[in-house]
Structure 1
């Protein structure tokens, strides 16, 4: 399944980045009133040289952890590990270790309250995302703290499932929505579960509630009186949970690419897909050259989904790193899932859809295969955490029929076989039957109510977490600043200089973010085929 994760750094060329097209598994109490941060001398958030404890948790300074790719932002970082109970209902039970990296502020005179970064996924590694935060200027005048969520790449244990990633790569040559593909997917999921259980992992303890408690322990263990939170994608679910369960010491919260705990599941992904697609199609329709060359683009796309589901197209493409041509099958579900991520490359989408409608599937096939077969798509996502969230917090409170009905409301012409596999989450309920973790209490899906100053940021082309999720969440956040950044896809901070300006200004003054840059934004210039 495709996780709800942000893009890695943008690349040139046709293939979607692995984080966009990879198929893997991609919540209240009043907070402290915020005051604008002054330009004081500040103190660096240095973990120190001795161990510190927070109840049953313990922080120990040490070297910076391994990351999947080199992260120059970690040069000069202060690092260590936080040891926490795997399952807080059994505090004397097994302990697990989470890596911590503190990237110092870029200026000597900086604010005393740092920012802590909540990664997406679920299952992405926060420490490995440090470069994204630094490139976006988040550490301009504040230290930024990164801690690996439990089970992720730089934690111990690491609950990754390379066999699932490898199977997902093979899906490029299979009919995406076929029952046989689903059976193979569940087989891979079960095999990974069995391997992790043999390593004695308590899979039911890898969830949002435990992760929120990990961060609460980290703040105390580092001796930080108050800090700011910034969560992206699934990290917004975690941030909202954290606001509800551990509001103490939180100065402000930024959430970008909003996934509310009360809505999370397959049904909301259909709403997200419709809103993101419509945003892109409407931008094309408002651009005369695009509208003239690609009229009725939304209808063309929807017709293609039905046609390809009945008669899939098979082609072969060249993919970097592969020894020969790669077989690619495109059915209706493939097309929907491709576009969910392809909104990150919006300028070429109308042309790609038009070429497919005229019998040329190459551009879409290259992007689909290029993402799934990228080395970055294997061995990096913590499926153990992802399925803990999906199967303990989402599927117990949403039936398969509810997912289908949600899809039919927004895409009434799509075949049932397409609607049965929510975008980004194919075969989810069957996978969760195999994963076998207990349901979390219904309270994990509570609507979050808080007066902590919160930046609620969405993106106009976001087909992964619906743009309307932002205003939905803001209704019960009494000090929310709600922003939709147009013309960019999932996680605006990763794509838009304007979004980064808004974010840093918010942390400077959480009740007076500078949103003036929104007025100057323009849509992409869509590619026009000769």
Structure 2
């Protein structure tokens, strides 16, 4: 059976299109007592909805509503330039962050604003695709052997698109440039004179568009795990994954204790992945509800998912987990497979993700390079590097954005680029590429960490660095906690 790897980046990606400004168009912000989440009574805030045009080229067209939280600083004399924050994906929701403001040190100095991206879970409308979630669930469990995986997903895309378009939704209006224009509208409506941007993964593309198209009021920008506009994610995601794993296992080999405990681990594991690609590993897993046995066949491209899903906190255990597999202990793989039995969700934001990807990433990617990426690594032969296959984007059929959305920006705005050393989704090399084109930028790399370091709640060092930068955007932040971050101390065999 073929497992689905959606590569859901705390994510990731995209590009944009130029927007015609309509002088008769006026966005609005309306406060609301009914919020998306329960907020602590100790936290002062305003909640409401930004109302904007779905398509700014159609002044009489439909309007959409985007939830916004404005959290007041804990400082009695705060800085006047707030931080605007939105998360990655594309398709992820920013709103759940509202519940955890006591952990955000940014509020010690200034107000902190959350905005939901159009088309995501709490936006109105939300471009949900439950059909897609059901198709992934069915395909993963191999419950319908009469339909191939691609057919399931293609049918799901057809059904979701038909339902959304019948609701009058313009799927071409859910792009990064539209989201950037939404944020600019929010700044204008709230009469914010200057502001800072905090973006992670995919939303760093939103930051790049804002810096290019609406730079006047931006004071500073933090890009955590950036994806440059000019990078074509689908052309190299498999290689990035293997490079990340290679770096982890090389660091183990460079450590005397780790190397003696797991000798030649890199070579042995890569050999194992190649062997299972040629002769799949069969695993029977009991369905937790029906108690029936479901047979899975795992190849190298499936087993590698163990490492795409690993968090920063789990990195030190990776050599140990690999050794367990090589010794025939498949308990960790079994635990992961059990997660596939969870009922499918509502597919929140999948439609928005499809619109962004199929308009901004897919058209600029070389199908030849994608095919090469799928076949060039014997350890994970057949692992597709793409987020959505070619046929899916043909079904979704949104307009390709302008070429400028696949080109690097130039800017003098102060930018802090943050990367995790072992991040396979948005690797360090992409952060380095960003700094080449941003003349007033700094680059921090967190050793041993993975994707989106500023959201590493077990160690808020990257958040501290980001906050220091917002307070002094013309200096590379060097918080004391950085000195304590070293190459991970890898877990050794347990007795």
Aligned mates of 2:92, 2:324 — CA distance in 1: 34
Q: Which runs of 5+ in 2 are unaligned?
A: 16-22
Is 1:267 matched up with 2:235? yes
- Select between 252-261 and 349-358 the one with higher mean Cα deviation: 349-358
Separation in 2, partners of 1:127, 1:363: 32
- 1:431 Cα offset (Å): 1.7
Cα deviation per residue 1:219-259 (whole Å; 9 max; x = unaligned)?
00011001000100111111112211111200000000111
Q: Report the Cα distance in structure 2 between the residues aligned to 1:511 and 1:139, rounded to whole angstroms.
A: 20
Q: After alignment, is 517-526 or 104-113 more displaced? A: 517-526
CA shift, 1:310, in A, is: 2.6
For 2:101 and 2:220, how far apart are their aligned partners in 1?
Answer: 17
Output aligned runs, 1:97-108, within 5 Å: 97-108=65-76
Structure 1 stretch 179-188 or stretch 349-358: which is displaced more? 179-188
Counterpart of 2:355 in structure 1 is 388
**Conserved 8 A contact 1:341-1:463:** no
Q: How does 1:236-251 map to 2 (within 5 A)?
A: 236-251=204-219
Match of 2:30 in 1: 60
Q: Post-superposition shift, 1:387?
A: 0.8
- SS of 2:445's equivalent in the other structure is strand
**Counterpart position of 1:508:** 471
Residues 462/54 of structure 1: CA separation in 2 closer, same or farther (3 Å cut): farther
Q: What is the distance in 2 between the residues matched to 1:510 and 1:128? A: 28
Judged with a 3 Å threshold, the aligned counterparts in structure 2 of structure 1 residues 204 and 491 are, in CA distance, closer, same or farther, namely same
Asked if 1:417 corresponds to 2:386, the answer is: no
Q: Secondary structure of 1:146's partner?
A: strand
Report matched runs for 1:301-316 at 5 Å: 301-316=269-284
C-alpha spacing 1:108/1:83, structure 2 compared with 1 (3 Å): same
Q: Equivalents in 1 of 2:174, 2:420: separation in Å?
A: 29
**Distance change in 2, residues 1:140/1:274 (3 Å):** farther
Moved more, 144-153 or 74-83: 74-83
Aligned to 1:224: 192
From 325, 332, 336, the equivalent of 1:356 is 325
| Kept in 1: contact 2:93–2:121 (CA 8 A) | yes
- State the TM-score, normalizing by the size of structure 1: 0.82
Q: Is the Cα contact below 8 Å between 1:82 and 1:98 reproduced in 2?
A: yes
Distance in 2 between the 1:242 and 1:521 partners? Answer: 32
Could you list the per-position Cα deviations for residues 336-386 of structure 1 after superposition, in whole angstroms to 9, with x for gaps in the alignment?
A: 33311225421222222222223332202313543x5557x7236301111
- Mapped contact 1:462–1:488 kept (Cα < 8 A): yes
Does residue 253 of structure 2 align to residue 288 of structure 1?
Answer: no
Alpha-carbon spacing, 1:333–1:26, altered in 2? closer, same or farther (3 Å): farther
Partners in 2 of 1:54 and 1:352 — Cα distance?
60
Deviation digits for residues 441-469 of structure 1 (CA, Å, limit 9, x no counterpart): 11111101100000001001111111111
8 Å contact kept, 2:83–2:111: yes
Q: 1:491 to 1:214 in 2, by over 3 A?
A: same
TM-score, structure 2 as length reference: 0.88
Deviations 1:93-132 (A, max 9, x none): 1111111111111222211110000210001111222346
What are the residue-to-residue correspondences of 1:403-414 with 2, within 5 Å?
Answer: 403-406=370-373, 412-414=377-379
- The alignment covers a number of residue pairs equal to 476
* Alignment-derived partner of residue 418 in structure 2: 457
1:326 Cα offset (Å):
7.2
The answer on 1:445 being equivalent to 2:410 is no
Cα distance, 1:346–1:361 mapped onto 2, change above 3 Å: same
Cα distance in 1 between the residues matched to 2:265 and 2:34: 49
| Alignment partner, residue 527 of structure 1 | 491
